[in-house]
Chains A and B, each alone.
Chain A
């Protein structure tokens, strides 16, 4: 908008206005998009470190299988994260030379304190997830839902949604809800999607709710 151009005052005003209006509109859009896509997710999730840096890889090598630590109980329920009592079996004393193990033995084993593990895939209380139905009946592998966590050297940062208190892994890492793997997102629709594929039917409410 050159000032040398001879245009009537009113025209000038209108043009100026039209241009800036659009410009401001676009700025507004840009700000919102930036806030929504970049800043908001950062604010929404509280990052938490696990109490101990646990290496699945090391343990997997030592015990050989997932179900050595994550096993089914006699009544068919799944034990989930190991309790201190299980860990003590091997870790009564420091075995290796890692700092993590030392912390574990000194702060937890010695004080008989359960480790407050943060569970990435913990479903809300209203969900009844049957490991038996998936692992025993449908013979699915752990990896098909949990991915490669079993071979990881270190534990990822746990992200807790500040509003809901749930793990970010449930709603999905990607804020847009895009997923590539089964374990990228664990919302109800994801359960339904797989159920529909495998059984031809999303299932009834009570199949997974309690």
Chain B
């Protein structure tokens, strides 16, 4: 039998036919499609038991009560805590916390900079090196050249840092300022006592907001949103006064565009209408028995703030001003809000005071729907730190930022003055800097100046959890745990009643990080002597436990401890009244409102910043999810857009998406143009919170940090940064 080609063909045909009747092709076809269900390179989340842990979010100062959903030991979701508690809520940033916890930009272990490169070191080594350096400084009697920039002044962790500086012998504990500092000032000046305001928006029936970003991140955003929704449910009015149709303005019942920087003038103009028409009589409050300096105030507004003048300055029609003033006073429980945007810049003291006079005229203090004046929770009752001679001598040295003295007598901390102070000295007056819970190099205006100052400081220790801009300038990083990994007391003052929340560890620290509280205690102990003595606690947790005492049990259960006792100690000043004008305020040369920097001729436009819930602009930066929600008219690829009125754009021959060069007295940047009818002609706006150089590839290099373009303007009254924008010019590229 000869085997030829034909036989082979036949064999093949048989094999083919046979295969069709075997499971092989069919099973392979099925299996190959099943293979595509679980490609080896696609992750399959591991399943496990679900558990829920309540904690307090500390990603912003809001301090919301949240619930973390866990599967096994993994955090999978952050949700709002289901509770009637006013403090429970969540915003876009809080929802991002699982992403931030597992973020690739987390610093995974203590780092030390050696020849411009990061070298991993142990916590022990880091603490030892820091202690060694600090010992040396102290030996040279330079303990006052240690400074600390802290994101907050409330709570035990900032208190520990401040205590450390005191025990070490430095007065230079500086916190990052915000509108809250101005709030405190406004009320301590006019009501006589240290108190913080709580605006009862939900119960008001007429809210006038002078540029306050009620729905753009101001205060505790979740609480503000809830309050706004209640306003809507009750069909109450919200009037928004600002040059840009912000999200808040869009939701308002009326948007009154105003020439930026003239908000205070408008408020005084309204006051003039109110006083002129004696509308305050309805309110039955303006008796001499409750106010001081009214006649002087009356004379002032009548003289300088006539309707016509105010209308000219603010760009708002006279009848609108009158109507607004009348409606405000007609309302049952009106309230005037102040502080621009999300309130990250303190702003002009006089502007805030001017607006607050409206609250005074409406007599809404400590009334439902008005402004509650509350005292800050006072629960940290530590014994005074032990000071040795060295410390005692230097602790009374002058503060570097000049706060509390001379023309800065009103302020406690003036971070904004630091760059200038450092840059103007031959050698840095700061030899050693702690940076905790903040990213000043990114968040401070006038980046160039700040950079120069930071570069000049010989040694910087960062306690950041992330490789942010300031951390990357540090010499040693002792990364803090993420808030889901640590205990911490969070003082929340944005709600109706001041509360202290307790952040609890939800998971064990996933990296080799150290709680900043523990870090500072360890450093103190390593320094020995009276400094160590001042820190009698074994670790941060015992410190917290001892500080909170019985409150901790409440907080463990309820998350928050609410200070029921300290409702108000306002009007505790000598007169016991609201003081329109008094000796202290006279010292601040009344009513100079801060204008934008730059020559109008050279820079015909005005650049303002806007805050957005979708872009975190503070110490915590955007999660990838948040950046994903940012519109393509804000960021496209890496280009940032500025908003401009189509009329103004036409003058500069700019179309939608055109590239343009934006120049301000402080810097230049290439931007793209987004035409927006919701912005006043002549004004351009840019979002804050972009243009990061630190963090990860999901954020780095996207857009421009507006702080590079805006300088700071020292408020003549308070010394705080009061810049709200800068003059600018655009050129088509």
Contacts and interface: CB of A to CB of B under 8 A. Distances in A.
A–B direct touch in complex (beta carbons closer than 8 A): yes
Contacts of A80: 47
B631 interface: no
A155 interface: no
Contacts of A73: 49-50
Contact of A25 (B11, B22, B28, B40): B11
Contacts of A29: 14-15, 17-18, 21
B10 A28 contact: yes
Contacts of B12: 28
Nearest to B14: A28
A82 to B, nearest CB: 12
B114 interface: no
Contacts of B550: none
Interface in B333-370: none
Interface size class of B (residues with CB under 8 A): 35 or more
| B contact patch SS | helix
Given A24-B10, A27-B11, A126-B37, A176 B17 contact: no
Contact of B10 (A21, A79, A166): A21
A31 B37 contact: no
B19 interface: yes
Contact of B7 (A20, A32, A126, A165): A20
B32 interface: yes
A179 to B, nearest CB: 15
B24 A24 contact: no
Given A164-B34, A165-B38, A32 B44 contact: no
Nearest to A25: B14
A203 interface: no
A32 B18 contact: yes
A176 B23 contact: yes
Interface stretch (A33-41, A53-61, A94-102, A140-148): A33-41
Contact of A124 (B10, B23, B24, B38): B38
B6 A17 contact: yes
B23 A24 contact: no
Interface in A23-79: 24-33, 35-37, 40-41, 44, 73, 75, 77, 79
A44 B15 CA distance: 20
A11 interface: no
Residue in B1, B10, B38, B49 with the greatest tally of chain A CB atoms within 10 Å: B10
B27 A28 contact: no
B28 to A, nearest CB: 8
B13 A164 contact: no
A14 to B, nearest CB: 11
Contacts of B14: 24-32
A36 B24 contact: yes
Interface in B254-280: none
Contact of A32 (B8, B10, B15, B34): B15
A138 interface: no
A125 interface: yes
A16 interface: yes
A67 to B, nearest CB: 16
B35 interface: yes
Interface in A114-134: 124-126
Nearest to A165: B38
Contacts of B49: 73, 77, 79
A161 B31 contact: yes
A125 to B, nearest CB: 5
A135 interface: no
Contacts of B23: 36-37, 40-41, 175-176
A168 to B, nearest CB: 11
Interface string B660-672: 0000000000000
B247 interface: no
A205 interface: no
B32 A24 contact: no
A163 interface: yes
A21 to B, nearest CB: 5
A125 B44 contact: yes
A125 B47 CA distance: 10
Contacts of B234: none
Contacts of A124: 34, 37-38
Contacts of B15: 28-29, 31-32
B17 A28 contact: yes
Contact of B22 (A17, A20, A32, A126): A32
B133 to A, nearest CB: 41
Residue in B21, B28, B34, B35 with the greatest tally of chain A CB atoms within 10 Å: B34
B22 A35 contact: yes
A37 B28 CA distance: 13
A137 to B, nearest CB: 20
Nearest to A161: B31
B312 interface: no
A31 B22 contact: no
B11 A36 contact: no
A164 B31 contact: yes
A75 to B, nearest CB: 6
A163 B18 contact: no
B16 interface: yes
Nearest to A162: B31
A165 B36 CA distance: 11
Contact of B18 (A21, A22, A28, A171): A28
B6 A33 contact: no
A73 B21 CA distance: 47
Nearest to B45: A125
Nearest to A79: B49
A37 B14 CA distance: 16
Nearest to A41: B23
B77 to A, nearest CB: 14
B27 A31 contact: no
A29 B16 CA distance: 7
Nearest to B25: A36
Nearest to A166: B34
A41 B693 CA distance: 56
Contacts of B7: 20-21, 24
A36 B19 CA distance: 7
Contacts of B27: 40, 44, 171, 175
A17 B22 CA distance: 27
A79 B49 CA distance: 7
B33 to A, nearest CB: 9
A210 to B, nearest CB: 11
A176 B22 CA distance: 9
Given A24-B14, A28-B17, A163 B31 contact: yes
A29 B37 CA distance: 33
Nearest to A20: B7
B68 to A, nearest CB: 15
Contact of A37 (B1, B22, B34, B45): B22
Closest 9 CB pairs of A and B: A36-B22, A28-B14, A32-B18, A29-B18, A25-B14, A28-B15, A36-B24, A24-B10, A163-B31
Given A16-B2, A33-B18, A125-B37, 5 more contacts: A20-B7, A24-B10, A25-B13, A165-B38, A165-B40
29 contacts: A24-B7, A24-B10, A24-B14, A25-B10, A28-B11, A28-B13, A30-B18, A32-B14, A32-B15, A32-B24, A33-B18, A33-B21, A33-B22, A36-B21, A36-B24, A40-B27, A44-B31, A73-B49, A73-B50, A77-B50, A80-B47, A124-B34, A124-B37, A125-B44, A164-B31, A164-B34, A175-B23, A175-B27, A176-B23
Interface of A: 16-17, 20-22, 24-33, 35-37, 40-41, 44, 73, 75, 77, 79-80, 124-126, 161, 163-166, 171, 175-176
